[in-house]
Structure 1
Amino acid sequence: MSEDWHPVCRLDELEPERGVAALVHGQGIALFRLPDDHVYALGNHDPFSRATPLSKGIVGMRDAVPFVASPAHRHAFDLRTGRCLEEPSTHVPVYEVKIVAGVVLVGQRRVDAA
């Protein structure tokens, strides 16, 4: 396993449609598991409130786009790209995720997401 991938938890420890926070590569990360077991990782920082963790947000779907809504201002962020659905010029970092033998691994920040 490359040192670029950080094991965070077991997939079965993540509750579907609920966020959890983790520290990965020195960054606060919010992990979200969807009912189909797809896991997304975003920066755990709401750019609008500057203090609210996105991991506490509500997960949902809008026009087939999986998103998390910030608990403070309810801005929705696309879990795939990190873009704000209401203000597309605003985004949060997105991180690579893979699952190996039931373990959720978080990789580097995706540069193409924003």
Structure 2
Amino acid sequence: MTSTIELTTRWMRACGLAELESGWGEVALLGARPVALVRVGADEVYAVDHHDPHTGAPVMARGIVGSRGDRPTIASPLHKEVYDLGTGECFSDPSLGLRTFRTRVVGGMIEVELEA
């Protein structure tokens, strides 16, 4: 007998869009998961794992926000590895990757999609 495990997701409210300053990160505790939220521009928000993939330290919300061409990035504040905010790809070390989460803004509130 085989069983199928169905993964489900849910949207969790993080904070108001107006609470995030553009170009900076903030950490939100969503359930038991710390997520780094980064606002880029007027209403574009990215969510990534708050833990640095290289060291495991919870510091990514304090990362340096920038860009590579038209791709928004965040650099770890510890070792300066640079990650694509949309894909989590590490530009300086392909063996590293930063977990990303989908976001949306509903009624001025930022929501992040997490596994249920």
**What's the TM-score once normalised by structure 1's chain length?**
0.87
Which residue does 2:75 correspond to in 1? 69
Task: Output aligned runs, 1:30-45, within 5 Å.
Answer: 30-45=36-51
Aligned counterparts of 1:83 and 1:25: Cα–Cα separation in 2: 25
Aligned counterparts of 2:79 and 2:95: Cα–Cα separation in 1: 17
Secondary structure of the structure 1 residue equivalent to 2:83:
strand
What percentage of aligned pairs have identical amino acids? Answer: 37
Aligned counterparts of 1:25 and 1:53: Cα–Cα separation in 2: 18
Secondary structure of the structure 1 residue equivalent to 2:61:
helix
2:47 touches 2:100 (CA, 8 Å); kept in 1? yes
1:41 touches 1:94 (CA, 8 Å); kept in 2? yes
Aligned counterparts of 2:32 and 2:95: Cα–Cα separation in 1: 25
Give 4+ residue runs of structure 1 displaced > 6 Å after superposition.
none
Q: Please, which runs of 5 or more residues in structure 1 have no aligned partner?
A: 110-114
Aligned counterparts of 2:58 and 2:105: Cα–Cα separation in 1: 27
Secondary structure of the structure 2 residue equivalent to 1:16:
coil
**What's the TM-score once normalised by structure 2's chain length?**
0.86
Which residue does 1:54 correspond to in 2? 60
Q: Deviation string for 1:44-90 (max 9, x for gaps)?
A: 01121221410001100112211001001010111001111111231
Q: Please, which runs of 5 or more residues in structure 2 have no aligned partner?
A: 1-8
